[in-house]
Structure 1
Amino acid sequence: MVRSRRSFLAAAGASAATAASVALAGCSTFGAGSDPVRVLAAGSLQRALDDGLRDAVDAPIAVEARGSAAAARLVADGTRHPDVLALADVALFDRVLDDPWYASFATNALAVATADTPGGRAVAAAAASDDGHWYDPVVAGDAALGRTDPDLDPLGYRTVFLLELLAARHDRPGLPNAVLARDQIYPETALLSGFETGAIDAAVVYESMATDHGYDAVDLPVDVDLSDPEHADAYADASYELPDGGVVRGSAVEYGATLRSPDDDTARDVFEALVGGDYLAGHGFETPGAFPRFTRDAPDALTDR
């Protein structure tokens, strides 16, 4: 099924990348002041932070948006020292970083955005057919698919999970190899640019990205879209090996953040507004009632608020 922008926005309202963007390696500064709170965030969060968080805090903020795996590595090797770190996969806090705690604050789902091109229309038509095999035009070479880098970005390795889960669902073990190719890989900003100019017919994105950019998109089944924790065991059947030899397994999409400058009152205010989530619904994110959910080592001053 293909959902329009209107249905994406309605769903978001009802629920209550990879590379750095634009100038200065993805940095955008809000407000005035010489010491902005430094936020290093998943690329898929950037528009929500730029257009939502800025209005929720009375503080200058400098946001750098990158693929979450790349961002986590930059912090781990001491290249970046953000006050607040927000990632699209909470597993990175344990696998790459040594942060003692984090707060889960939002969820998301995968979708396949379709452009108004012959290939994009073919993908949309295939999705609307009886079998719903949106990927058949890609396999046939009639549509160009875009995706982000699985070595740098959770959206990239979640795209691999999606194809593995679809292969199992439809008993097509060769599907991932038939669909996935290295020349499909783009930094997030280039992916969206290529999609909007028609160079890419379809792209695997988050629902929040489709909402933010007004894209038509294929609504994927819940057992493959990585949106539902109740399907966690099935999602875990998919996996991807990262360049460092570590293996990530499929799981429900869960965004997490940590405060790395706990003694800075302004940074704490920004962190609390970020994980509070009030600004996220209009950008296509889900914020379950149990969120923000803190791990057990989080400071009492935050968890008792």
Structure 2
Amino acid sequence: MPDADSSVRRRSVLAGAAAAMGGLAGCARVLGHAGDGAGGAESGDATVGGTGDGGSATVSMLAAGSLNNALEHGLKPAVDANLEVEAHGSARVARLVAEGQKDPDLVSVADVALFDSPLRPEWYAEFATNSLVVAYNADTEGGRRVADAGADGWYRPLLSEEVSLGRTDPDLDPLGYRTLFALELATDHYGTEADLRAAIPERRQIYPETQLVSQFETGAIDAAFTYRNMAVERGYDYVELPPEIDLSDPDRTEAYAAADYELPSGKVVEGGLISYGSTLRRPSPAARAVFDAHVAGDYLADFGFVIPDEYPRYTGDVPDAVAD
């Protein structure tokens, strides 16, 4: 691997990440369907909004898969409530809530555009940003090809069928359509003859966000488009993409908007700065305390997220109790 290329990085696993490897491969305790009479609890557990062991209030959260490790191993230990987290691709999270299939106390997604549609909360908080990277498996021949190509040529081996790529479904997950945005922007940035967005994506590359990690770690795929935080917290080798492509630079928001994707609902999502958002649906004291720790906690930086100075940044009719 080319040590001289500063854009190709290897990150050490953060403390506790080894125990978190299953975080995205399997969701935490599943929340009940709205109206199913179970109140989101398994047999013998407290109902959502009730009390769990030791009298702690139970708070439920439906969240983006890329947040799961930070929530399980950063937020949970920092709050007094019994926090139940279920993670999916953000587009699916939004649909589950909008269609009434899930009824969590908190909802956190990896794209605040989903709070315009299908979710329409009265207010939300932006609390973190991220960037796209191409993670690679240095133990496979295909992964080494991506590493050798580096930041200036990572796309070349992906055009070859000799390198297997993993990505998430753009119909279910912002990471999926952001991957398409990055490929489209890369075509212009590198001036390639091939339309990378048309040439690289294949249906067989798609995995649920909660399975992409396990596919990568078992060597089933050579490389994967992922968020920087996911690569950092798991110690993956990765190629860092230039800011013209990685959707991390606030000054390039207008340029990112040149790419778009139409979701099955008909909503067209434009490229833009990666920004995570959260809303509190039931402001009980316990849920409000969890929300405050979630959007303003220092734990996020420990798991590879970027926290701008002006965050958390609120939009909409924010309740006084939250604003205070």
Does the TM-score normalized on the shorter chain lie above 0.5?
A: yes
Equivalent position of 1:2 in the other structure: 8
Q: C-alpha distance in 2, partners of 1:102/1:86?
A: 9
Aligned CA RMSD, in angstroms, stands at 2.1
Q: Does 1:21 align with 2:42?
A: no
TM-score normalised per structure 1: 0.90
Per-residue deviation, 1:24 = 4.8
Q: Does 1:201 align with 2:222?
A: yes
Q: C-alpha distance in 2, partners of 1:151/1:26?
A: 22
SS in 1 for 2:306: coil
Per-residue deviation, 1:177 = 1.6
Equivalent position of 2:49 in the other structure: none
Equivalent position of 2:110 in the other structure: 88
Q: C-alpha distance in 1, partners of 2:290/2:297?
A: 11
- Which residue of the other structure, out of 93, 98, 103, is the alignment partner of 1:76? 98
Equivalent position of 1:124 in the other structure: 147
* Runs of 4 or more above 6 Å deviation: 26-29
Question: Gapped runs of 5+ residues in structure 2?
Answer: 1-6, 15-23, 33-40, 46-51
Deviations 1:109-140 (A, max 9, x none): 00010102100000010116xxx110111212
Per-residue deviation, 1:277 = 2.8
Given that residues 135 and 226 in structure 2 are in contact (C-alpha distance below 8 angstroms), is that contact kept between their aligned partners in structure 1? yes
AA at the equivalent of 2:201:
L
SS in 1 for 2:130: coil
The 5 A counterparts of 1:221-236 are 221-236=242-257
Greater shift, 189-198 or 77-86, is seen at: 189-198
Q: C-alpha distance in 2, partners of 1:43/1:97?
A: 18
Q: C-alpha distance in 2, partners of 1:301/1:68?
A: 27
Per-residue deviation, 1:296 = 3.5
Equivalent position of 2:17 in the other structure: none
Given that residues 88 and 210 in structure 2 are in contact (C-alpha distance below 8 angstroms), is that contact kept between their aligned partners in structure 1? no
Equivalent position of 1:190 in the other structure: 211
Per-residue deviation, 1:189 = 2.7
- Which residue of the other structure, out of 67, 83, 86, is the alignment partner of 1:64? 86
Deviations 1:268-304 (A, max 9, x none): 0000100013110110001111111111311122122
Q: C-alpha distance in 2, partners of 1:112/1:293?
A: 29
Given that residues 69 and 151 in structure 1 are in contact (C-alpha distance below 8 angstroms), is that contact kept between their aligned partners in structure 2? yes
Q: Does 1:113 align with 2:139?
A: no
Higher helix proportion: 1
Q: C-alpha distance in 2, partners of 1:277/1:269?
A: 11
AA at the equivalent of 2:270:
R
Q: C-alpha distance in 2, partners of 1:220/1:141?
A: 22
- Which residue of the other structure, out of 261, 273, 277, is the alignment partner of 2:282? 261
The 5 A counterparts of 1:274-289 are 274-289=294-309
AA at the equivalent of 1:191:
L
Q: C-alpha distance in 2, partners of 1:70/1:279?
A: 25
Q: C-alpha distance in 2, partners of 1:80/1:35?
A: 19
AA at the equivalent of 2:116:
D
Per-residue deviation, 1:20 = 7.5
Q: C-alpha distance in 1, partners of 2:181/2:311?
A: 25
Per-residue deviation, 1:176 = 1.2
AA at the equivalent of 1:291:
Y
Equivalent position of 1:156 in the other structure: 176
Please say which structure displays the higher CA radius of gyration: 2
SS in 2 for 1:95: coil
Equivalent position of 1:238 in the other structure: 259
Per-residue deviation, 1:41 = 0.5
Given that residues 26 and 65 in structure 1 are in contact (C-alpha distance below 8 angstroms), is that contact kept between their aligned partners in structure 2? no
Equivalent position of 1:180 in the other structure: 201
% identical aligned pairs = 55
Question: How many residue pairs end up in the alignment?
Answer: 290
Deviations 1:202-235 (A, max 9, x none): 0000000001111010011011100111100110
Per-residue deviation, 1:54 = 1.1
| 240 and 66 in structure 1: CA distance in 2 versus 1, 3 angstrom threshold | same
Question: Gapped runs of 5+ residues in structure 1?
Answer: 10-18
Q: C-alpha distance in 2, partners of 1:265/1:300?
A: 13
